[in-house]
Structure 1
Amino acid sequence: MQDLTHPIESGMPVYPGDPAVSVAAADTFAADGCRVSELACGSHAGTHVDAPAHTEEHGDTLDSYPVSAFVRDAVVVDCTDLGAREPIPAERVPGSETAPRADCTVFRTDWDRHWGRDRYRNHPYLSVAAAERCAERGLAVGIDAFSPDPTPPAEGEMELGDRAPFGAHHALLGAGVLVFENLTNLEALPERFELRAQPIALGGDGAPVRAVAVAGEERG
């Protein structure tokens, strides 16, 4: 098994404008005889899954999906040749003939190496055409970046222009397709694997997950 999850910790990167993450001691062993931590974060902190309710006014919430929806037969698409803010074209989305039985496409950009730096915002992203092709084929989407859409840049960096801020989200979540964001360690994966990314039972627009890749004989 391979862990694909960024640890939850105080001050970790969050999507611009999202709540900051804080992990602090509520009870200590010295004072209370036990340890309890107080966690404050948004529903899209760290490695997480988006439900349609995230961007769609009448979209389904996470609790409308069975737990089996968060176990996926995934195919890795290598996008490491793409540069900062470069769109992933529709031609990269695998078809049923090249990835039979797959129900999730994980786009590997290797942008997780920039985690914790402003450059992490400048990740490659899905073109709307690529997102629409995933939706048409019923493929959930995973990516090792903040978002399948362009992320607002840090101050002083290149502007997004007139790009639709949630075009890929609307194409995917509008079709009921789940989106897994801020994955990491994708470079260690084979082309095909089982993605297990169960969210905490929050039941809303999204939730942190513990994402794990299971490959080969480990799959049961």
Structure 2
Amino acid sequence: MFRDLSRPIETGMPTYPGDPDVTLSPDATHGEDGYATSELRAGTHAGTHVDAPRHALPDGEPIDGADVGRFAFDARLVDCRPLEPREPIAAEALPEPDALDPAVDLLVLRTGWASHWGADRYRDHPYLTAAAARRCRALGVGVGLDAFGPDPTPPGSAEDTGPPRGGEPGGTPAHDALLRDSLPIVENLCGLDGLPERFRLYAFPLRLRDGDGSPVRAVAEWEE
């Protein structure tokens, strides 16, 4: 079985606060030119995408520096629901080291926030605590999420972020912890309901020279 877990790339789609807007518009048309091409303008972290270490670390590995096989994951689904807006996900919500199959290299965290895509509330997704990020490092696994990312997202525009909300970490500590060990982060997944606990996840990035991340076509595969 295969299932697409990625968001369509389209004009006006939600983007992380401060990131470039996405536009997809005709460039040539069958009527006028006899063929069709389109112009796509988007940031490297638009829609469903994978982060490269270069995203958080100035000297981190770029997206085109990783072997392509590193983007074919043995994934385990972790249902973290129910969660409140901006609720921290504790280490205890993740598998214990002795309860995780050593073949697993990606934990896909189902927060339930995929249902808020396109609404302001999507910014108020849950996030990983420092302890949860440390557990991922100890397990040697990356994370996939149905949200903007593993750190809190500013509630408004980049110009109106303000200080961290009470108890929330500033900056991108979960990104830093994971990407420092070249552990993958796959963001803005969808379609997680009904997936089995174990599956393969393919999230191949574009080969962007020295890129800090890339949109992906995220696809789950499993046996019935």
Q: Is the 8 A contact 2:154 2:161 kept in 1?
A: no
Match of 1:122 in 2: 124
Distance 2:98 2:223 in 1: 20
Q: 2:198 and 2:99 mapped to 1: Cα distance? A: 11
Deviation track 1:65-100 (CA, whole Å, cap 9, x = no partner) reads 111100000011111111100011011222343221
Letter aligned with residue 69 of structure 1? R
**Following TM superposition, by how much is the alpha carbon of 1:2 offset from its aligned partner in structure 2, in angstroms?**
0.9
Conserved in 2, the CA contact under 8 Å of 1:153 and 1:159? no
Q: Which moved more, 1:62-71 or 1:157-166?
A: 157-166
Match of 1:151 among 133, 150, 153: 153
Distance 1:201 1:157, change over 3 A: closer
Output the CA distance in 1 between the equivalents of 2:149 and 2:15. 11
Show CA shifts across 1:7-36 (max 9, x none): 000000000000000000000000000010
Q: Secondary structure at the match of 2:99?
A: coil
| Structure 2 match to 1:20 | 21
TM-align CA RMSD? 1.7
Q: Is the 8 A contact 1:85 1:124 kept in 2?
A: yes
**Matched AA of 2:73:** R
Alpha-carbon distance, 1:159 to partner: 6.8
Per the alignment, do residues 42 and 31 of structure 1 end up closer, same or farther by CA in structure 2, a change over 3 Å counting?
same
Uncovered stretches (5+) of structure 1, i.e. residues with no partner: none
1:197 counterpart residue number:
203
Residue 4 of structure 1 deviates from its aligned partner by: 0.3
Whole-angstrom CA distance in 2 between matches of 1:121 and 1:158 = 15
State how far apart, in whole Å, the 2-side matches of 1:61 and 1:150 are.
Answer: 24
User: Aligned partners of 2:25, 2:70: CA distance in 1, in Å?
Assistant: 32
Pick aligned residue for 2:219 from 199, 206, 212: 212
Tell me the matched-pair count: 217
2:114 matched to 1:108?
no
1:199 and 1:208 in contact (8 A); partners too: yes
2:86 paired with 1:85: yes
TM-score by length of structure 2 reads 0.92
Is contact 2:163-2:170 (8 Å) kept?
no
Distance in 2 (CA, whole Å) between partners of 1:147 and 1:140 is 12
What is the identity, as a one-letter code, of the residue corresponding to 1:77? V
Distance 1:74 1:216 in 2: 13
Q: How does the TM-score come out when normalised to structure 1?
A: 0.94
